[in-house]
Chain A
Amino acid sequence: MTIQNDPFFIDFQARIRMIQSEMAKANIDVYLGSRLRTLSWTLDAFCPWRSFVVIPPEGLPTAFTFVIDAARVADDSWLDESNVFGFAPMGGQDQIELISDFIKDLLAGGRGRIGIESGMSNYLPEGNLTHYEFERFSAALPGCELVNAHTIVDKLSMIKDAGTINRFREASRIVDIGHQAVFDALKDGGYRGMTETGIAGLAAFAMRRAGSEWEWSFTGGNEIASGYRTGLTGGACTPASRREIMAGEPLMVDIHAMFKLGLGDHSHNYLIAPVTDRQWWHAGNFLDIVRLTLKSYRAGITPSELAEKMMGFADERGFSDYMVPGFEHGIGLMGDEWRIGLNDGPFPYWTNPDHVYQAGELLICAMQYACPEEGIGFRYENPVVIHPDRCEPLSVFPLTVDEIK
């Protein structure tokens, strides 16, 4: 249970009341959340198994998860055991029957409008209601209309409160400890004999010791790329391989920490000596565009404006061929790692390029520089808080490309 004088306190009861207020406006009697982001945002617990939250028109929500994890979810959540149910393959206890019986008890005459979460995502663990679940809930709730209602949570979760930002700040502080541990291990020839997976592990060890709950990214935890793997075309996803770190090659270290569902995500880049002038040219380009991007983020701009400005800069400097023309991805409490803003762009469930950033939004400033023909690339990621006139990068590990001798 979180207390109100805790810097990481989030008023989950107030969040539920806000959802209930929006449900009333949308004439929704019960909200059936299934997305990981909704579960984190409402329950304050990580739900790795298929889980649901049922939000009644008033009063407390109830969580449903796989029975083997239900007591742990109740222990982590702000809810107590009477509001967390485990489902299991038993009569009356499978997820469809358990939840639909529970919902029927909330509805007068067992009839009403149920808000569900449907859609699509590039993020595999998104957790939208599946077609099969939709059919089964529809059959189990005759007289109920199931309507897509995820926008309620998407809207309410867009601007981050102080507790959420502080959790991200702490996760970023832990990530910086991980980066320092990697740097200390690599320097003075320490890189010799190391592999990408070894670096991922030593970063994880340092971050766990500092309080990280896990290397949360579904992209393989800590992403490490060395040599040609840093420069794969558009390659912004590099689960660590068993590749050995070699002299004369680039090394990209993209590590992830989690603190109370707040997510740290920062990439730092290295060149292993001897470094050529051409490699330094690439590194300089990358650092310059990161600095300019960080200087440009503020409330009022849009992803497309920013991309246009940055790609213009890259073009002037002659490295636009190496830039992936995207400079951000969405972020929120665990499970919210996809598009920026609402589902209101020209391509459903992708970031709206004309989304206007507002103060209090949090996003990952994300840039990928990749030159496949020369086997070199760099990545920048950092959670940034949008302020009226600037952005605040939460990871403060020095922005450099370090030469390791």
Chain B
Amino acid sequence: MTKIIQYLTPDWRDEAERRLKSELSPERMNFITSSMSNIYLDCPNGKDKYLFFRFEKGLFADLILGEGEPPDAEFRITGKYETFARISRAELGSQKALMTGKLKLKGNMIKALKLASIADRLNKVLSTIPAAY
């Protein structure tokens, strides 16, 4: 039986790292060097959380889950916990979330456009984690 992991917990982070490393090769990541923070507002515990990703030449260098102010990142995506959860459950597309203002992106759009397909790949992998929200 598949183990259900609570979304945005240390266990979920570990599973996310395992899946991202095994499923997204540096080649699939276009050998990018970049960083991104997802900032989850209004989490079930009443606090804000972040998930910080850093890639070095396509390899996952960091995946940090924390509370409070995230490390500096090239891109910062902010939204409600529920919005991210809906994206992870494939109930809402990340593009639509951005275009309807449910997610807020901070960072250079020219670079973001180059990374859009990679972000989709990354979200797709994360959405395969059996999670409870």
- Which A residues have a C-beta under 8 Å from some C-beta of B? 67, 70-71, 74, 81-82, 84-93, 97, 101
The reply to whether the CB of B89 lies closer than 8 angstroms to some CB of chain A is no
> Does A90 lie within 8 Å of B108, measured CB to CB?
no
Q: How far is the CA of A101 from the CA of B105 in the complex (A)?
A: 11
> Does A93 lie within 8 Å of B110, measured CB to CB?
no
> Does A82 lie within 8 Å of B108, measured CB to CB?
yes
Q: List 26 A-B contacts (CB under 8 A).
A: A70-B109, A70-B110, A71-B113, A74-B110, A82-B108, A84-B108, A84-B110, A85-B108, A85-B109, A85-B110, A86-B108, A86-B110, A88-B109, A89-B99, A90-B99, A90-B101, A91-B97, A91-B98, A91-B100, A91-B102, A91-B103, A91-B104, A92-B105, A93-B98, A93-B109, A97-B104
Query: How many B residues, CB 8 Å from partner?
Result: 17
Across the two chains, which residue of chain B brings its CB closest to A64?
Answer: B109
User: From DSSP, what is the main secondary structure of chain B's interface residues?
Assistant: mixed
The reply to whether the CB of B111 lies closer than 8 angstroms to some CB of chain A is yes
One digit per residue, 1 when the CB lies within 8 angstroms of any chain A CB and 0 when it does not, for chain B 82-113 equals: 00000000000000011111111110111101
> Does B109 lie within 8 Å of A101, measured CB to CB?
no
Which of B78, B97, B98 has the most chain A CB atoms inside 10 A of its CB? B98
> Does B105 lie within 8 Å of A90, measured CB to CB?
yes
Contact of B98 among A74, A82, A85, A90 (CB under 8 A): A90
Q: How close is A71's CB to chain B, nearest CB, in angstroms? A: 5
Contact of B101 among A70, A87, A91, A101 (CB under 8 A): A91
Q: How far is the CA of A81 from the CA of B74 in the complex (A)?
A: 13
Across the two chains, which residue of chain A brings its CB closest to B99?
Answer: A90
What residues of chain B lie closer than 8 Å to A91, measured between beta carbons? 78-79, 97-105
> Does B101 lie within 8 Å of A71, measured CB to CB?
no
> Does A81 lie within 8 Å of B105, measured CB to CB?
no
Q: How close is B97's CB to chain A, nearest CB, in angstroms? A: 8
Q: How close is B115's CB to chain A, nearest CB, in angstroms? A: 13
Q: How far is the CA of A269 from the CA of B111 in the complex (A)?
A: 50
Evaluate whether A81 and B101 lie within 8 angstroms (CB atoms) in the complex, with A67-B113, A86-B113, A92-B78 already known.
Answer: no
Contact of A92 among B106, B110, B111 (CB under 8 A): B106
> Does B109 lie within 8 Å of A87, measured CB to CB?
yes
> Does B109 lie within 8 Å of A81, measured CB to CB?
no
Q: How far is the CA of A93 from the CA of B105 in the complex (A)?
A: 6
Q: How far is the CA of A89 from the CA of B103 in the complex (A)?
A: 12
What residues of chain A lie closer than 8 Å to B102, measured between beta carbons? 91
Q: How far is the CA of A91 from the CA of B31 in the complex (A)?
A: 27
Q: How close is A104's CB to chain B, nearest CB, in angstroms? A: 12
What residues of chain A lie closer than 8 Å to B98, measured between beta carbons? 90-91, 93
What residues of chain B lie closer than 8 Å to A86, measured between beta carbons? 108-110, 113
Q: How far is the CA of A85 from the CA of B112 in the complex (A)?
A: 10
Which of A70, A84, A91 has the most chain B CB atoms inside 10 A of its CB? A91
Contact of B108 among A81, A89, A97, A101 (CB under 8 A): A81
Contact of B111 among A81, A88, A97 (CB under 8 A): A81
Q: How far is the CA of A11 from the CA of B43 in the complex (A)?
A: 51
Across the two chains, which residue of chain A brings its CB closest to B76?
Answer: A92
Q: A67-B110, A85-B110, A92-B106 are in contact. List 7 more A-B contacts (CB 8 A).
A: A70-B110, A71-B110, A86-B108, A89-B99, A92-B105, A93-B105, A97-B104
Q: How far is the CA of A50 from the CA of B109 in the complex (A)?
A: 16
Across the two chains, which residue of chain B brings its CB closest to A74?
Answer: B110
Q: How close is B75's CB to chain A, nearest CB, in angstroms? A: 10
Q: How far is the CA of A97 from the CA of B98 in the complex (A)?
A: 14
